[in-house]
A and B are shown apart, each in its own frame.
Chain A
Amino acid sequence: DGGITQSPKYLFRKEGQNVTLSCEQNLNHDAMYWYRQDPGQGLRLIYYSQIVNDFQKGDIAEGYSVSREKKESFPLTVTSAQKNPTAFYLCASSIDRSGGASNEQFFGPGTRLTVL
C-alpha cells in the first residue's frame, strides 16, 4: 500500500536535546512538507522540499532543520533552539509543487512530541 509513514507516534525528550522525526513516503512524490499543529490552531508550515537535495523555509522554521537526501525521506530535526517544541507534527507529500485538483497533499499519521 502506498502512503506516508511517520515514526514514532509519540515521542518524549528532555529539554535541551535535539530530536529527529522521521517521514517516509512510497508515493513517488517529488514534494514533501512538514507542519506543526498546536491545540486550537491550524497547521503551520515549517519546511518544505520540492525536489531531492533542495528545501525551503516555511513560516515557522526557526529552531528546526531538515534534509532531503532521498526522494522517499524528509526527516525533521527539532533542535534545542526551538523555544516551545511540544506539539503535533505532520508530514505531507504531493506529486510536485504545482497546483490543481489532482495535486492535493497527502498526510502521514503524525508524531506527537512532548518535551519534558
Chain B
Amino acid sequence: AQKITQTQPGMFVQEKEAVTLDCTYDTSDQSYGLFWYKQPSSGEMIFLIYQGSYDEQNATEGRYSLNFQKARKSANLVISASQLGDSAMYFCAMRDEAWEGGATNKLIFGTGTLLAVQP
C-alpha cells in the first residue's frame, strides 16, 4: 500500500528565511507523481509543485522547489525567502497509478505540516 509521511506537525520560520518541509513516501510502483499543496486558513487547497518519478531534475516553481531523493524516497519542499502569506498547512501527496488495473489520478495525502512565518 502507498503511504505518505510528514513528520513535522508544525514549523516556525523567520520572514525572508528559507524553510524545508519534510515528506517521505512508500510505494512499490515505478511510475508515480509527487505533489505539494498549500491550505490557508480559508480551507482551499492550492497546488504548488509536481515531481514525476522519472524526472531527473528537481522541480522548481518560483520560490518553491522540491528536493527529490528517489533512493531515500523523500520529496521535501523548500520555500525560499519566506513571506507572511506563506503561513498555512502544507500537504505532500502522491498520485496513485496502480489501482484496479488503471490510472486514476487518485491522490494519497500526508497529515500535513503547519508552517508559521514570523515577522
Contacts and interface: CB of A to CB of B under 8 A. Distances in A.
Interface of A: 31, 33, 40-45, 48, 50, 56, 58, 88, 90, 92, 94, 96-101, 103-110, 112
Which of B35, B91, B105, B111 has its CB near the most chain A CB atoms (within 10 A)?
A: B105
Interface in B20-63: 31-33, 35, 37, 42-47, 50, 52
Contacts of A45: 106-107
B97 interface: yes
Contact of A43 (B50, B52, B100, B109): B109
Contacts of A48: 104, 106
Which of A42, A98, A103 has its CB near the most chain B CB atoms (within 10 A)?
A: A42
A105 B107 contact: yes
Nearest to A103: B105
B33 to A, nearest CB: 5
13 contacts: A42-B111, A42-B112, A43-B91, A45-B106, A48-B104, A90-B45, A98-B105, A99-B31, A99-B33, A101-B52, A109-B42, A110-B43, A112-B43
Contacts, number: 70
A8 B20 CA distance: 35
B103 interface: yes
Given A100-B52, A108-B44, 5 more contacts: A42-B111, A96-B105, A101-B52, A107-B44, A112-B43
Contacts of B44: 107-110
B105 A94 contact: yes
A74 to B, nearest CB: 14
